[in-house]
Amino acid sequence: MFEKSLKETCEMLHVQNDLAQFEDLIIKGVSIDTRKIEKGNLFVPFKGENVDGHRFVRQAVEKGASAALWDKNVPNPPEDIPVLVVDDPLLALQSLANQYRHQLDLKVVGITGSNGKTTTKDMVASLLGTKYNVHKTQGNYNNHIGLPLTILALPHDAEVAVLEMGMSGFGEIELLSEISQPDAAIITNIGESHLQDLGSREGITKAKLEIVQGLKEGGLFAYYGDEPLLKEQVKDLSLNHVETFGRSEANTIYPVKIDMNNEGSRFETSCYEGEAFFLPVLGQHNIHNALAAILIAKEFGVTVEEMKKGLNSLKLTGMRMEMTEGQKGEKIINDAYNASPTSMKAAVRLVSELEGFNTKMLVLGDMLELGDNEEEFHLEIGRMIDPEKIQRVYTYGELGKFIAKGALERFSLENVHAFQDKNELAQKLKDYTHGGELILFKASRGMKLEEVIDALS
């Protein structure tokens, strides 16, 4: 992790006050939360709408922080403890991360997309981890604060950093790309998330393509080649190392053979025909994510055997196609971390294709941030559910009821149920399940559908 003397840190940040008396102090790591302060940390306070972090600077030092940043516009910085007066603590944090990134001898892989960012991050890290000392974004540390903190937590012996980049508006991915300066970049796909902020899928495409702004000269840019909007906009970019992944044969890499079962997928690719890869994750869409990871691994000199090993040992971040078992022996697919129309359709198709279950059930909740057409998006999900392959549909939330409404165009009334209360939903599921069922849970993060899963476990 970041480790410098206070004097060195001040020189990196153009600090505006005299800290000569403290210059030999050692800064070790960075924190923005006084509840998680560790000895030697640099505490970074932020001014929020309701709370000003500067109020907790002294507390941070008392709990072990070596020093803290201080916004020059906040009056009365303490003089008896080491506070570094800067123009803006957030900009200072980002600048520190950028400089630290360049001081490390490592390569960076940046990943963005409407769906599949975290899964692809896990896959890239697993494949590269067979050859390199790899570190990746933890949790949801993928924004203008989380990404700098991830970089500053990298150990000095890190060889590769796999960084997820999230956004809600224009300019955010560009900022993250400029901070991290990736050696390779991936766009997993373009969906409908953030239509509320970006207005159209064309706008989403433009925002995601900001990831190339910080891409190093000659760095690999890999994107989902079956997306026409990406293909159209990429043509206007000055990039000299572009490769694509997807289902169609027009891509650099595509699957030539797929065998799916309830344990995962075995597939061969156009780049390594005759070599079978096993992916212990459900869903054809995840094969596309694996193809992106294989492109990166190939670029980084990972052998085919190492790639196979990396995929076989893959561990995904929680609540992403996670198979668990309920109290009565029912199988539960927990894909409740997030949802968009694209990812929800993929999950529904997956469950429809799985065999060996006497009853298959969907528990679907609101998909958020879809803008003016949000009701129609939910209706469309309901209409695409096949009653020949799915026996029961349960929905949760104000928008979820439109999924139920769409499903009722094909299902009988007794097989579709809409809920606004999680306890009632959980009880209904308990009453119906006897063991042997398959239940998919899918919704946007804000719906917290895992609370219903917990009630069944």
Domains defined along the chain, listed by start: 3-86 (3.40.1390.10), 104-312 (3.40.1190.10), 322-456 (3.90.190.20)
Higher pLDDT pick, 21 / 318? 21
Q: Report residue 121's pLDDT band, with 50, 70 and 90 as the boundaries.
A: very high
Q: What percent of the chain has pLDDT over 70?
A: 99
Judged against a pLDDT cut of 80, whether residue 16 lies above it is answered with yes
Alpha carbons 230 and 315: distance in angstroms, whole number: 29
Question: What is the structure's pLDDT at 323?
Answer: 83
pLDDT at 202 over 80: yes
Q: What is the mean pLDDT of residues 372-396?
A: 96
Phi, psi of 346 (to 5 degrees): -65, -40
Looking up tokens 């528990």, which residue turns up? 363
User: How many other C-beta atoms can be found within 10 angstroms of the C-beta atom of residue 103?
Assistant: 11
Assign 219 a pLDDT band (cuts: 50, 70, 90).
very high
pLDDT in tens, 264-283: 899 999 999 999 999 998 88
Whose CA is closest to 415, among 456, 360, 365, 375?
360
> Which range (8-12, 319-323, 344-348) has the least confidence?
319-323
**Which burial class, exposed, middle or buried, applies to 291 when counting CB atoms under 10 A from its CB (0-12, 13-18, 19+)?**
buried
* Nearest one of 108, 113, 287, 284 to 186, comparing CA atoms: 113
Euclidean distance between CA atoms 365 and 343, whole angstroms? 13
Contacts of 417 (CB under 8 A, 6+ apart): 392, 393, 394, 395, 404, 428
- Give residue 349's Cα distance to chain centre: 22
pLDDT of residue 320: 74
Residue 127 has a pLDDT of 98
User: What mean pLDDT, rounded, does the chain reach?
Assistant: 94
Supply the pLDDT for residue 431: 93
In the chain, % of residues over pLDDT 90: 83
367-383, pLDDT tens digit by residue?
998 988 999 999 999 99
Q: What number is the average pLDDT over the span 122-150? A: 95
Cα distances from 154 to residues 59, 135, 162, in angstroms, run: 26, 7, 11
Closest CA to 308 of 341, 344, 280: 280
- Backbone dihedral angles phi then psi of residue 169, each to the nearest 5 degrees: -150, 175
Q: What local confidence, expressed as pLDDT, does residue 319 receive?
A: 67
Average pLDDT over residues 78-100: 96
Nearest 5°: CA angle at 145, between 73 and 322? Answer: 155
Which among 406, 371, 391 has a CA at the least distance from the CA of 439?
A: 391
User: Does the pLDDT at position 5 exceed 70?
Assistant: yes
The band of 85, judged by pLDDT with boundaries at 50, 70 and 90, is: very high
Answer yes or no: is pLDDT of 95 > 90: yes
DSSP assignment string, 218-258: T-EEEEETT-HHHHHHHTTS--S-EEEESSSTTSSB-EEEE
Mean pLDDT of 87-98: 97
Q: Which residues of 75-91 are buried (b: 16+ CB within 10 A; e: fewer)?
A: eebeeebbbbbbeebbe
Structure tokens at 142: 């993928």
Name the nearest CA neighbour of 203 among 184, 216, 190.
Answer: 190
The pLDDT confidence band at residue 140, using thresholds 50, 70 and 90, is confident
**Cβ distance 69 to 83 under 8 Å?**
yes
Backbone angles phi, psi at 438, to 5 degrees: -115, 125
pLDDT for res 198: 78
User: Rounded to an integer, what distance in angstroms lies between the CA atom of residue 452 and that of residue 444?
Assistant: 14
State the number of CA atoms in the 13 A half-sphere of 187 facing the CB.
31
